[in-house]
Amino acid sequence: MITTATADRVPVFSDFALARQVVRALRECDRAGETRTLCFVVMPEHLHWLIELTAEDLARPVRRFKSTSSRWINSARDTPGAPLWQAGFHDHALRREEDMLSIARYIVANPLRAGLAGNVGEYPHWDAVWL
């Protein structure tokens, strides 16, 4: 599970089109074969991303994601080179005894806890794939 925040926690992804660029960048990591996204939620100023790692190094797909999303979003905002993400990220490797379904539910329920939606279906920037 990966959590990363925008630089200075600016709510960049309150803008619908920019949030969709984040989703597109997540999908790009899956297409590149480095990750298999199980679920995610793009919040206004951060991202939660539950993945199955297919690359040898976790930092590599996170770098790819941050680089790609920064490039696309900075292009859309006409802010080339501006920092989009905080340096680093928080990760938590799930142990076998941890309930992945509960963690996925916790992730996609973030907009409810933040008061951004009355139910998960109202919030547009999340997805979940189950095995």
Domain coordinates of the chain in residue numbers?
A: 2-128
Instruction: Give the pLDDT of residue 100.
Output: 84
Query: Residue 86 is encoded by which pair of tokens?
Result: 């905080």
**Predicted local confidence at residue 88, as pLDDT:** 93
Tens-level pLDDT at each residue, the chain (131 residues) = 999 999 999 999 999 999 999 999 999 999 999 899 999 999 999 999 999 888 778 999 999 999 999 999 999 999 999 999 999 999 988 876 678 888 999 999 999 999 999 999 999 999 998 54
Position 131 scores a pLDDT of 44
State the number of CA atoms in the 13 A half-sphere of 39 facing the CB: 17
What is the model's pLDDT at position 130?
58
| pLDDT at res. 93 | 85
Rounded Cα distance between 74 and 2, Å, is 22
CATH of 2-128, picked from 3.40.50.1370, 3.30.70.1290, 3.40.640.10, 3.30.420.10, is 3.30.70.1290
Query: What's the CA gap between 64 and 1, in Å, rounded?
Result: 16
Contact status, residue 64 vs residue 34, Cβ threshold 8 Å: yes
pLDDT on residue 56: 79
